[in-house]
Structure 1
């Protein structure tokens, strides 16, 4: 059994009307539902969308890391 592993990184974007944390949580949950062996993520970018002076949505761009199967 080898302790060496190979991982891949993919970029996803998630949005929530509630908060950055909610967008991040939804993004990770969605990645986990689609990808096997998700091991972490890096928040590459954050932004908000506004309308008439009020924040309408929070968006995060995630670099999701998942370990490839042997």
Structure 2
């Protein structure tokens, strides 16, 4: 029988959503083992005064197996 746990984290990138997800998962993997997957729970953008996107932010729910 396997037991899984879900943690929530936020990550950001100036290069886009995919980079924000990859950066968040890579940082999480430094301390959490057995990561099985992640859900993108929320996406937010930061803009400048002209409305141009300057930063992408994602809220991730990361699932890992507890050994």
CA distance in 2, matches of 1:46, 1:34: 24
2:13 pairs, out of 16, 27, 32, with 16
TM-score normalized with structure 1 length: 0.90
For 1:47, the equivalent position in structure 2 comes to 44
Structure 2: 5+ residue runs without aligned partners?
Answer: none
1:59 pairs, out of 35, 57, 60, with 57
Q: Which has the larger radius of gyration?
A: 1
> Could you list the runs of 4 or more consecutive aligned residues of structure 1 that deviate by over 2 angstroms after TM superposition?
none
Size of the alignment, in residue pairs? 66
CA distance in 1, matches of 2:14, 2:45: 9
Structure 1: 5+ residue runs without aligned partners?
Answer: none
How far residue 54 of structure 1 moved from its aligned partner, in angstroms, is 1.0
How far residue 68 of structure 1 moved from its aligned partner, in angstroms, is 0.3
